[in-house]
Every structure is written in structure tokens, then in C-alpha cells.
């Protein structure tokens, strides 16, 4: 039997990685093989992903596996962020670079959509949180602008589906990534014809759906030859990165919530069925697909994007501080001098994030941060307080309250944010694994290959494979006082 090794390609909005997963004695051992930045490109005033570059880096990751002695692999799985897609023409050529979700082409599209189909009806069908960059509004913007690409298009493929097509020649849409589009019916888990009809969107370009763990096909011989790998299966993990991360939550009890912490914060619970009510619509919660028939009932809220953008601005000014140094400055700064709503439109994609934070504080009559430590402390305290706000919303819509919060992903390394989150929510916090997305990707591949029996066994394997760190609430009186004073700014 070949070694139980899998390779996960995890493409994030900031960077991408090729990570080897080795299953030994019911434990997963990870080895990072290749890491690369993910760079958006500007083409004729629009923001795109550089698909040629990303595909080249994927091949470099395969070469790195071979160079590291891992030529024989059981599977390859790709996960990415949600909503963005590429178009494939009738000659199987990709039609231009995929648009990035921060491109402004979707401005005003939600309002246009609601004139054709009510907000309530769209939510009743899809159960998906309204965000202006959702796939449905990206596609509507192409229809409204009479994009010539739609005339040439045969198939729409979301980002991981596009990689799978380039790797195998097979066109399909994996369920968890498709569920982020606001084009899928949350209950029957198929494309929703009424949305396509009412919004005048092309239905025939949508690909057939497959579930996590499905083998898409064999790696194309020309790619295997150029990278030096032996033939292997390309397997659809949970192709949405958050779905993979949630699959890897090492929960061993009931009534837990998860926070996938990174550029975005995705906070929610795992449910057996969609939660589609007037309250979930009012609170803008989403029902995205998970592994093994589950639903990720969550709210997508801004995360460490604010900190990443501040760091970028400071680096452009010649400052070389890193995240660890900024966290130290935040610990030294005075607490609660100013709080922002991380989801305010000011912070979606400003040219200067520190200036945007100052602008928000000025408009709300608060202290104006000046030192870097003040900015970082403001961001981390604001995120923690927003997490409390969202957990209170979840508890109001579910029969049993959340009792423990699992933080996974890159943001779980930020110990100050983890402690602030425990303080703000009053919940015990369990942080880790850091590489939850890659772990979940590999875990679902192993389930697809029948090496693991299912998600419950997979989570037990994760719990004994990676170090976890506990954070317990502190300074409750002060955090409660601040929360009740400022929670009115959150929505």
C-alpha cells in the first residue's frame, strides 16, 4: 500500500501554501513544502487574481514535494476563499483573469437585484448573508454591463473548481464553495432556478455539483510529467477554505462555536439544517455548506484585514515592524481608548487603513489613535467585542447557548486577541490548530479515500495531532462595562 500522504493547496487572499499531510498511527503530521504571496493585479482599472501565476505556483508546490522525496501521493486537494469565479470558453480556454471580490464592479448591484427579486425571497431560497461581492452580484454586474465574456462562456467555475479543471480537465462545482455564491438553494443543495430567472442570469453555464471527498479525476499526464509526480487523484476537499477549517475544529463536546480567524473572521456554529428565519435575515447570518451534510450557520465579519492593511501602510512608509512587535506595542497601550465597528464600509478597501480608523473615531467622537500600539489595540479590542456581539445573536437564534469557542486558523496565533476574545465573550477559548484549513483539506481527502471513517474520527485525529492552548476569561467587569457602552455601534 502506498504511503498515506496527501498534498493540500491552500490559497488565501494574502498567500498560498502547499502542505504535505502524512497520516501515521492515526495522527496527521504536516510539512510545509512551498509558500508564495497571492498578488492581485490591476487590469484596465479592475482588480483581478493572476491565475497564470497561481497555477505556476501550484506546479512549483508539486515540484517541491518531489524534491522533498514525496513523489508518491494518494491525493491532491485545493481550497480557496469564496465567491470569486472564472469563466471557461467553449474551447476550454479560461476567459481572462478572474475578478477579485474587492473590485468595485458590484457597487449598486444588491439594490438592482432587490428590484427584480426581493431581499426576503433571495434569503429564503439561499440562506446566505448579503454582501455586495457575493457571486450572485458579481454575475449580475456582468449581465448589467453586457460583458462580452458571458457570450463566450460555456462554464462558470469557482476558484478551486477552476484549479481542479486545470489539473484534470473535468468541470464541476464542489458543494461548499458553491454554497457561498448565493445561487444555491440551502435546503435542497442545488442551484436555485428562480434566482437565475428573476435576475436574468445565465443558468446553463453552471457546472454540476459534487460533494466534499469526491475524486474529480486523475492529474493530467502533462502536469505529472512537468512536475515529476507519479499519477495521483485530484480530490475535492471542502473546497471553501472556511469549510475545511471548520471540518478540522477539534471539538470533543457539544454546544461549541468556531471562529475561523484570518483576513476575515467567520464565527458560527455547526447545524444539521439551515437556520432561515426573520431573525437570521435581520442579523445577516449565512448558511453555508459543510462536510457530511452539515450547515455552517455563521456571520462573515471583518477580521485581521484591518491589522494587515495597517501593517502594509506602515511598511510603505518605511517601517519594518512585524506582527509580533505590533502585538507587544498593543499590550503596552492603554485599553479601550477607542473602538470601531470592523464591518463599517470605511474598512472594506481603503487606500490608507490607519486614516480610515482615525476617520471612524473622529465621526463617533472618540479618542483619535496616533501611536501604532493604539491602532493595534483598538483593532484587537474591537474584534473581540464584535465576536461577543455575534455570539449573543447566535444564542438568541439557537435553543442552546454556546459554551466554548474554538479559534482556528492563522489568527489563532495572536494570543492577545485570543485572550481579549475570552474576556469579551466570557467563554473559555481553545486555540488551534493554526493550519486548520490545510488539516481539514487533508482530513477530507483521507475520508474520501476511506482511510478515515468520517468527520468524527477525523476530529479525534486532529485533537491528538496538534497542540491546543486554552484561554480563560479575565477582567469581566471592565469588558462588560465597555461592551454595554459601545454595542450600539455594531450591526
CA 197/CA 209 separation, integer angstroms: 19
pLDDT mean over 142-154:
96
φ, ψ of residue 331 to 5 degrees: the values are -65, -35
> Domain end: 241, 259, 294, which one?
241
Residue 438 lies in a domain: no
Could you tell me if residue 340 is inside a domain? yes
Q: Are 258 and 288 within 8 A, CB to CB?
A: no
- Confidence at residue 207, expressed as pLDDT on a 0 to 100 scale: 98
CATH of the domain at 290: 3.30.420.40
Whether residue 35 sits in one domain with residue 117:
yes
In a domain, 441, yes or no: no
> Which helix (DSSP H) or strand (DSSP E) does residue 241 occupy?
helix 241-247
Q: Which long-range contacts (CB under 8 A, 24 or more apart) does 94-98 make?
A: 94/51, 94/162, 94/166, 95/149, 95/152, 95/153, 96/43, 96/48, 96/149, 97/41, 97/43, 97/48, 97/49, 97/50, 97/51, 97/52, 98/48, 98/49, 98/51, 98/159, 98/162
Q: What total number of domains does the chain contain?
A: 2
* Residue 445 domain-assigned (yes or no): no
Name the pTM for this structure: 0.90
Pairing mode, strands 469-471 and 209-210: unpaired
Cβ contact 196:202 at 8 Å = yes
In a domain, 444, yes or no: no
**53 and 78 co-located in one domain:** yes
pLDDT band at 39 (very low <50, low <70, confident <90, very high): confident
The tens digit of pLDDT for each residue in 419-453 reads 999 999 999 999 999 999 999 999 999 999 999 99
Q: How far is CA 112 from CA 83, 84, 120, 173, in A?
A: 19, 20, 14, 27
Residues with Cβ within 8 Å of residue 65, at least 6 apart in sequence = 7, 18, 20, 33, 71, 73, 229
> Looking at the structure, do residues 226 and 96 belong to the same domain, yes or no?
yes
Could you tell me if residue 315 is inside a domain? yes
Contact indicator for 265, 303 with CB cutoff of 8 Å: yes
From the list 404, 126, 85, 417, the residue with the least C-alpha distance to 285 is 126
143 with 286, same domain? no
Answer whether 456's CB lies under 8 Å from 468's CB.
no
- Three cell numbers written together for 447: 475520508
Residue 274 and residue 229 share a domain: no
- How many whole angstroms separate alpha carbon 90 and alpha carbon 154? 5
Q: Which residues contact 130 (CB under 8 A, 6 or more apart)?
A: 110, 119, 122, 123, 182, 284
Tell the residue number behind the cell numbers 479559534, with chain if given. Answer: 407
Domain membership flag for residue 16: yes
Question: Are 200 and 281 contained in the same domain?
Answer: no
Q: Would you state the pLDDT for residue 13?
A: 82
Looking at every residue in the chain, the average pLDDT score rounds to 96
Mind listing the pLDDT tens digit for each residue in 274-325? 999 999 999 999 999 999 999 999 998 999 999 999 999 999 999 888 888 9
Residues 200 and 152 both lie in one domain: yes
Same domain, 229 and 301: no
* Residue 2 scores a pLDDT above 80: no
Q: Among residues 10, 233, 241, 341, which one is catalytic?
A: 241
> For 86-174, where are the alpha helices, taking DSSP H only?
109-116, 119-126, 135-144, 148-152, 159-168
Q: Which residues contact 365 (CB under 8 A, 6 or more apart)?
A: none
Residue-range definition of the domain harbouring residue 101:
5-241
Pair 340, 357: CB distance under 8 Å: yes
Percent of the chain with pLDDT over 90: 94
Q: Is residue 407 a contact partner of residue 418, using CB atoms and an 8 Å limit?
A: yes
User: How sure is the predictor about 3, in pLDDT bands with cuts at 50, 70 and 90?
Assistant: low
User: What pLDDT digit, counting tens, does each position of 222-275 carry?
Assistant: 999 999 999 999 999 999 999 999 999 999 888 999 999 988 899 999 999 999
pLDDT confidence band for 1 (50 / 70 / 90): low
In this predicted structure, the answer to whether residue 158 has a pLDDT above a threshold of 70 is yes
Of the CA atoms within 13 Å of residue 369, those in its CB half-sphere come to 28
Q: Are residues 223 and 89 in the same domain?
A: yes
- What percent of the chain lies above the pLDDT cut of 70? 99
Give the pLDDT mean for 457-461: 96
- Domain end point (choices 189, 213, 241): 241
CB atoms within 10 A of CB 307: 23
Burial class (CB in 10 A: 0-12, 13-18, 19+), 324: exposed
pLDDT(55) > 60: yes
Residue 130 lies in a domain: yes
**241 catalytic residue (yes or no):** yes
Question: Quick one: 276 and 402 in the same domain?
Answer: yes
Same domain, 96 and 134: yes
Q: Does 77 share its domain with 198?
A: yes
Structural domain ending residue among the three candidates 221, 241, 261: 241
Which pairs with CB-CB distance under 8 Å and at least 24 residues apart come from 193-199? 194/117, 194/121, 194/125, 195/117, 195/122, 195/125, 195/126, 195/136, 198/116, 198/117, 199/113, 199/116, 199/117, 199/136, 199/140, 199/143
Sign of CA dihedral 269, 270, 276, 277: negative
Strand order in the sheet with 215-218: 27-37, 15-24, 5-11, 75-79, 233-235, 215-218
Residue 99 DSSP one-character state: B
Amino acid at each position: 500500500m502506498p504511503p498515506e500522504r496527501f498534498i493540500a493547496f491552500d490559497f488565501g487572499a494574502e498567500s498560498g501554501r502547499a502542505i504535505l499531510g502524512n497520516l501515521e498511527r492515526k495522527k496527521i503530521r504536516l510539512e510545509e513544502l512551498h509558500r508564495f504571496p497571492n498578488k492581485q493585479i490591476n487590469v484596465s482599472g479592475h482588480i483581478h487574481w493572476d491565475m497564470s501565476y497561481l497555477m505556476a505556483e501550484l506546479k512549483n508546490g508539486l515540484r517541491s514535494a518531489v524534491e522533498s522525496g514525496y513523489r508518491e501521493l494518494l491525493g491532491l486537494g485545493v481550497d480557496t476563499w469564496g465567491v470569486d469565479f472564472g469563466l471557461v470558453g467553449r474551447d476550454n480556454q479560461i476567459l481572462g483573469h478572474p475578478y477579485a471580490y474587492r473590485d468595485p464592479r458590484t457597487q449598486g448591484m444588491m439594490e438592482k437585484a432587490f428590484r427584480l427579486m426581493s431581499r426576503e425571497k433571495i434569503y429564503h431560497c439561499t440562506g446566505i448573508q448579503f454582501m455586495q461581492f457575493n457571486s450572485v452580484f458579481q454575475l449580475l454586474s456582468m449581465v448589467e454591463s453586457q460583458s462580452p465574456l458571458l457570450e463566450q462562456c460555456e462554464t462558470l467555475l469557482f476558484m478551486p473548481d477552476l484549479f481542479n479543471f486545470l489539473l484534470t480537465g473535468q468541470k464541476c462545482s464542489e458543494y461548499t464553495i458553491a454554497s457561498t455564491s448565493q445561487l444555491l438553494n440551502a435546503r435542497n443543495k442545488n442551484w436555485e432556478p428562480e434566482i437565475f430567472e428573476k435576475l436574468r442570469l445565465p443558468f446553463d453555464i453552471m457546472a454540476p455539483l459534487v460533494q466534499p471527498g469526491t475524486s474529480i479525476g486523475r492529474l493530467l499526464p502533462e502536469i505529472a510529467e512537468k512536475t515529476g509526480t507519479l499519477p495521483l487523484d485530484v480530490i475535492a476537499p471542502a473546497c471553501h477554505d472556511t469549510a475545511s477549517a471548520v471540518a478540522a475544529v477539534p471539538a470533543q463536546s457539544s454546544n461549541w462555536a468556531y471562529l475561523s480567524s484570518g483576513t476575515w473572521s467567520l464565527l458560527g456554529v455547526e447545524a444539521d439544517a439551515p437556520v432561515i428565519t426573520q431573525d437570521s435575515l435581520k442579523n445577516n447570518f449565512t448558511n453555508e455548506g459543510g462536510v457530511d451534510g452539515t450547515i455552517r450557520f455563521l456571520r462573515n465579519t471583518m477580521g485581521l484585514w484591518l491589522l494587515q492593511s495597517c501593517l502594509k501602510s506602515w511598511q510603505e512608509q518605511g517601517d519594518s515592524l512585524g506582527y509580533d512587535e505590533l502585538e507587544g506595542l498593543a499590550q503596552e497601550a492603554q485599553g479601550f481608548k477607542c473602538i470601531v465597528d470592523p464591518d463599517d464600509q470605511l474598512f472594506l478597501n481603503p487606500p490608507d487603513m490607519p486614516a480610515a480608523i482615525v476617520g471612524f473615531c473622529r465621526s463617533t467622537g472618540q479618542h483619535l489613535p496616533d501611536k501604532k500600539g493604539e491602532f493595534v489595540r483598538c483593532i484587537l479590542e474591537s474584534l473581540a467585542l464584535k465576536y461577543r456581539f455575534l455570539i449573543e445573536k447566535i444564542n438568541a437564534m439557537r435553543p442552546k447557548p454556546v459554551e466554548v469557542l474554538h479559534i482556528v486558523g492563522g489568527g489563532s496565533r495572536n494570543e492577545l486577541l485570543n485572550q481579549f476574545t475570552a474576556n469579551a465573550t466570557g467563554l473559555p477559548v481553545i486555540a488551534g490548530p493554526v493550519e486548520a484549513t490545510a488539516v481539514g483539506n487533508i482530513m477530507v481527502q483521507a475520508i474520501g479515500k476511506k482511510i478515515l471513517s468520517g468527520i468524527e474520527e477525523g476530529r479525534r485525529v486532529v485533537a491528538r495531532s496538534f497542540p491546543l492552548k486554552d484561554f480563560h476569561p479575565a477582567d469581566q467587569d471592565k469588558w462588560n462595562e465597555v461592551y454595554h457602552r459601545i454595542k450600539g455601534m455594531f450591526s
